[in-house]
Structures are given as structure tokens and as C-alpha cells.
Structure 1
Amino acid sequence: MKRRTFIGLVAGLTLAPSLLFAGTELIYTPGLIKEKLAEGKTVFVDYAASWCSTCKRQERVRDQLRESNPEYDKNLVFIRVEWDVYNSHAVTTDRNIPRRSTLLVLRGDKELGRIVSGTSVNEIKALMDKGIAKES
């Protein structure tokens, strides 16, 4: 096997898990959440930091749930707010977000639910289910 082909294959296999949900989790930029809500979307917001082990566990659980139920990706817009960048920004302070590892579901002008530091599958699933429920 040619070296270039081998390196490309290894890189592709390494990136495959992260590409599974590529394009379905947006990285927050100012105004993005308001924009999606104005479009009538239900938004799942993940306040996370790359160094946070609780955030990583929440992400693994969320991704497993999304993989097992395509309704989540059909009905929710997933947005990650980088804690280290936006911890004192209005997107955080206006919603009284106490810390990284906070998950929210928003629809219209309502917060449907939130989890702070929770990592249980049942708890995260219940929050995501609120987002796909027709009436909340």
C-alpha cells in the first residue's frame, strides 16, 4: 500500500466518529440561537469546554441517543456554546447559566428544560424528549 493512501485511510478512520454528526452541531456565534428560534426551530444548547470531563460525558451520551433515535436530529438544532469564549457573554448571563456542562432546550421564547452537570442517560434523554415533543 502506498504511504499516502495509508495515511489518508488512517486519517479517515480516525475522523469517522466525529464526522457522523458533522453539520448537525453548530458552534455558537452571536445571534445564532435567536436566529434558529426565529425560524421556529427547537434548539438544544450545550455550554461546554473542551477540557471539561463532565461535558465530554454529556456529549458521548447525547451522541449515542442521537444515533439511536433519528427524531432528535430531525427535530432539534444542536448548538455548542464554547464556555471559555462566552462564559461572561449575554448568551450565558441572560439565561443565568451557572457553569459549563449546562444543557438547555429552547423553543420560541420558552426554556423547556435544563440540566446542570447531569450525565445520566435517562436525564439527558428526558431533556431531548422534551425538545421533540409536539406540545410542551
Structure 2
Amino acid sequence: MDRRTFLATATAALTLPALANATTNYTPGLVKKHLAAGDTVFLVFGTEWCSTCAAQDRAINALLQSNPDYEAKVAFIHVDYDQYGQSDLARDLKIPRRSTLVVLKGDQELGRIVAGTSKTQIKELMDTALSASVA
């Protein structure tokens, strides 16, 4: 294993437990259940070994800690791309790759980020989710 791979893997391993506390791990049917209940859903398609995913997780975790309303009013669901990247959910949403973030409400997609790690951009998406949850 080269140094870059080791560092990316180690960073992801350290980041995911913190994000895991704020998110629910995806299981088939979970998204439909939340949407049917009227919840706003923030999907995090990622893997443990992806450095872009780890950067997104760090930004999401920092934002969750800065505003408890995110976690209280939005259903954050982590979708393991290695396991569910070819699932009906991923196909229906046309998820192009890991490190994709998607916000859903009812039958609408409210926003998406593909491979973006900007904390500002992720905050905008999380704010969209929060606004939809109180509307």
C-alpha cells in the first residue's frame, strides 16, 4: 500500500464513525419509508475508502455540530456505494458515482452535489434540506 492510499484510508476510517452517529445506514425501503412519512431526506452515497467521501463527511459532520436543527429535522442516510451502488435506489436517482449527496422531499429531488467537497456548497445543500423540512 502506498502512502497516499494509506492516508486516504486512515482518514476515512477516522471520519466515518463521527458521521455514522449523525446518519442512519441505508437499508432497502428506508428512503421510501421516510419520504412517505413526509420527511426530508439527505442521502450520502459514499464508501469507507474514498478520500472525497471522507472530505464530504468531515464537512457534513462539522455542519451537523454547528446547527442541531439539521439532525433534528432532516433524515440523514448513508448509502454504502460499494454495497448499494447498483441498487434500485441508485438507478432510480441516476447516481453517477460515490461521493454523491442528494436531498429528497416527497417525489422531488431538491438538490445534488457530485464529488464536491466545498463546505460552503455542502452547507447550501443542507440548508435547502432544512428549509424543506420546515415548509
1:47-92 residue CA offsets vs partner (Å, 9 max, x unmatched)? 0011100000000000000100111011111101100111111110
Q: After TM superposition, what 4+ stretches of structure 1 lie above 2 angstroms from structure 2? A: 17-22
> Contact (CA 8 Å) 2:70, 2:126: kept in 1 or not?
yes
Alignment gaps of 5+ in structure 2: 1-13
* Deviation of the 1:19 alpha carbon: 5.9
Match of 2:78 among 77, 80, 89: 80
Give me the whole-angstrom Cα distance separating, in 1, the residues matched to 2:20 and 2:81: 21
SS at match of 2:65: helix
Q: Which residue of 2 aligns with 1:99?
A: 97
Whether the aligned pair in 1 keeps the contact of 2:43 and 2:101 (CA below 8 Å) is: yes
Using the size of structure 1 for normalisation, the TM-score is: 0.82
The CA RMSD measured in Å over matched residues stands at 2.0
Match of 1:52 among 50, 53, 56: 50
Report the AA paired with residue 26 of structure 1. Answer: T
- Looking at structure 2, the residues matched to 21 and 98 of structure 1 have their Cα atoms a distance apart, in angstroms, of 23
Secondary structure (helix, strand or coil) at the match of 1:133 reads helix
Name the structure with the higher helix share. 2
TM-superposed CA distance for 1:20, in Å, is 8.1
Separation of aligned partners in 1, 2:19 and 2:89: 27
**Within-5 A mapping of 1:105-116:** 105-116=103-114
Question: Which secondary structure state, in structure 2, belongs to the residue aligned with residue 122 of structure 1?
Answer: helix
* 1:78 alignment partner, SS class: strand
Question: Is the radius of gyration larger for structure 1 or structure 2?
Answer: 1
With normalisation by structure 2, the TM-score equals 0.83
